[in-house]
Amino acid sequence: MSASPAPHLHWDKRPDLERPVVLAAFEGWNDAGEAASTAARYVRDHFDATPVGTIEAEDFFDFTVARPFVHLRGGQRVIKWPTTTVYAGSIAGAPNDLVVLIGHEPQLRWRTFTDHVVAVADALGASRVVTLGALLADIPHTRPVPVFGLADEPELSDRLGIRPSTYEGPTGIVGVLGARLRECGLSTASLWASVPSYISSAPSPKAALALVEKISVVLGVPLPRTDLEIASEAYVAQISELVAEAEEDGIPELVQAFASGTTPTRGEPGRSPQPLRLGVRVTLPGWLPRQVETHLHGLAADGGERLRRPRLGQDRVLGQTALGEEPDVADLEWVRLQGAAGHPAVKDQ
């Protein structure tokens, strides 16, 4: 079954690829700790995948929510729109080539948008589409990152060693896209890394590393991960230091409870652990996206104030929207209701 026509899909060139695997990641609600988008960019850069097409933003974004950026280039102001970009590259010695699709989660016309992604897969003869995501979970930062997901093919699921999610509830573009891909008869897999809920605002190279390890299995080729491993070790060490300093906020007790698998205690009536304010000392390797480094430098400049988020439900936090805007009232209400349900941050399979 083919998707509907895709008038907003524009090709710079049509690459000649061998049954490519498509990786799709979207910044925003599906991308806790920027882990999914970081993993997609890491794989894209390793295989030197280059832009071959775009899905225009005009019909899929509310620009009062996900605002475009203005940049100075040669003294002239240039507007950068939240376009979804398609990259393609070859994988030497592998039976499949690579397509990477990276963008921001759209606000509008998700059914039409997912048809455009299906059109990308159809046009390039994709053998499989793998969606990437990251979610907040009650886990400690010191333990291995749990990866959940699903795969249409049992053999691939066994090789990945993933546990299927039992989540039911509101979903994001990744969940909607996965359903549409299956409706269209395309082979799919979905991989979700877990990010500790008390450090939701900091980029998580450790969760990105966990996704890259699974992507290596899907592609059937080894992926060097030294940069990610170094960044992950620094991430754990620096967060451990900040946790130790956050005794007044109740964070050490929270981490200990997550590590032991027990329910965190609330301590004084009406007082709950505060989310960590991270970023002031995090150092990341040069391969990470420039916007992440800029974000962290900004945090250092303002003492971490940008990491503050509305206090919601059971002291959960909501990440920024796709282009750095604060969440709107509807988003805050959804998280408040999810907090009342007891597990507001686990978002999708």
Residue 121: C-alpha distances to residues 23, 130, 241, 267 (Å) = 10, 11, 45, 52
**pLDDT band, residue 177 (cuts 50/70/90):** very high
Looking at residue 181, which CATH number applies to its domain?
A: 3.40.50.10900
Report pLDDT digits (tens) over 268-292. 433 344 455 444 334 444 444 343 3
Q: Give the Cα-Cα-Cα angle 133, 51, 73 (nearest 5 degrees).
A: 100
Gap between the Cα atoms of 299 and 224, Å rounded = 30
Range of the domain at 101: 11-349
The answer to whether position 213 is within a domain reads yes
Task: Tell how strand 76-80 and strand 21-27 pair up.
Answer: unpaired
Tally of CA atoms within 13 A in the half-sphere of 148 that contains its CB = 15
pLDDT at res. 165: 76
DSSP 321-342: -TTSPPP-HHHHHHHHHHHHHT
The answer to whether position 297 is within a domain reads yes
Gap between the Cα atoms of 349 and 326, Å rounded = 25
The answer to whether position 29 is within a domain reads yes
Report pLDDT digits (tens) over 188-220. 999 999 999 888 778 999 999 999 999 999 999
Tally of domains within the chain: 1
4 touches 112 (CB < 8 A): yes
The answer to whether position 1 is within a domain reads no
The answer to whether position 80 is within a domain reads yes
Gap between the Cα atoms of 53 and 49, Å rounded = 12
Gap between the Cα atoms of 211 and 31, Å rounded = 12
Find the Cα–Cα–Cα–Cα dihedral 21, 27, 31, 34, rounded to 10°.
100
**pLDDT band, residue 221 (cuts 50/70/90):** very high
Gap between the Cα atoms of 276 and 303, Å rounded = 13
Gap between the Cα atoms of 93 and 96, Å rounded = 9
First to last CA, the chain: 24
Report pLDDT digits (tens) over 292-308. 334 334 434 444 333 33
The answer to whether position 2 is within a domain reads no
The answer to whether position 66 is within a domain reads yes
The answer to whether position 209 is within a domain reads yes
